Amino acid sequence: QKEVEQNSGPLSVPEGAIASLNCTYSDRVSQSFFWYRQYSGKSPELIMSIYSNGDKEDGRFTAQLNKASQYVSLLIRDSQPSDSATYLCAVDGQAGTALIFGKGTTLSVSS
Amino acid sequence: DAGVIQSPRHEVTEMGQEVTLRCKPISGHDYLFWYRQTMMRGLELLIYFNNNVPIDDSGMPEDRFSAKMPNASFSTLKIQPSEPRDSAVYFCASSSPGANTGELFFGEGSRLTVL
C-alpha cells in the first residue's frame, strides 16, 4: 500500500526565516509530486509540482526531489505570517492514478 | 469561471440516517475525486471517476458508502446508514483533461457530523 509520510509538526519559524518541510513516500514507481497548502477551515490548493530530480523554484518556494531516496521537500524562503497553514505532500503513483496525500505538516510563522 | 461546487456545506444528522453529498465539477474536467479528511487519518481518497466511469473505489470504507456520477456535471456520495465515525469533511475535486491528475481543484468541502 502506498504511503506518504510527513512530520505533523507544528513547525514554528520566525518571520523572515526559511521553513523546511519534508516528505517521504513508499512507492518507487511514483512519478509526480505535489505540495498543497491548506489554511484552517479551507480546502487544499496546489502550490508546487515537481516531476524530475533536483530543485524547482517558484518565487519564495522551492521544491526538491530525490527519487533515489524517495524524498520530497519544500523550502519557503522569507517566511511570512500568511504562510501559516498546513502543507500537504501528495504523490501520484502512475499516470492516471489518483493522488495519495500525507497527513500534512502544520507551519506557524510568528511576526 | 465557477470552481467545484459542493453541497451541503454543513450537515448534522443522527446515526442511522441517510446522507447525500453533492458535487458539481469544473466544466470540461473529466476526472472527479471524492476525498475524506479527518484529524486522525488525514486526506483519504474514497473513489474517483474518469469520464463518469468509476475507476478506483478501493478507498470506500464499506458497503454503507456509494458514489455515482450520472453525467459530466454532477456526482453524489451517499452514506446509508450513517454512523458517528463517518463524521469528517468530505471534499470533491476535479482535474482537467490532458493535465496530470495531480493538479486537483477542490471544492470547499462538506462538513458532516453524525450524532
- Chain B interface mutation, best of A43, A52, A100, A106, highest count of B Cβ atoms under 10 Å: A43
Q: What is the chain A residue with the closest CA to B33? A: A98
CB of A97 less than 8 A from some CB of B: yes
Note whether B109 and A43 are within 8 A (CB).
yes
Do the Cβ atoms of A46 and B103 come within 8 Å? yes
- Cα-based distances in Å from A82 to A15, B76, B89: 10, 34, 23
Per-residue pLDDT tens digits for B18-75: 999 999 999 999 999 999 999 999 999 999 999 999 999 989 988 999 999 999 999 9
Closest CA to B113 of B81, B77, B85, B79: B85
Model confidence at B1: pLDDT above 70: no
**Contact between residue A32 and residue A81 where contact means Cβ atoms under 8 Å apart:** no
Q: Chain A residue closest to B57 (CA)?
A: A98
Per-residue confidence in pLDDT tens, chain A, 111 aa: 678 999 888 999 999 999 999 999 998 888 889 999 999 999 999 999 999 999 999 999 999 999 999 999 999 999 999 999 999 999 986 555 788 999 999 999 999
Q: How many alpha carbons lie under 13 Å from residue B101 in its C-beta half-sphere?
A: 20
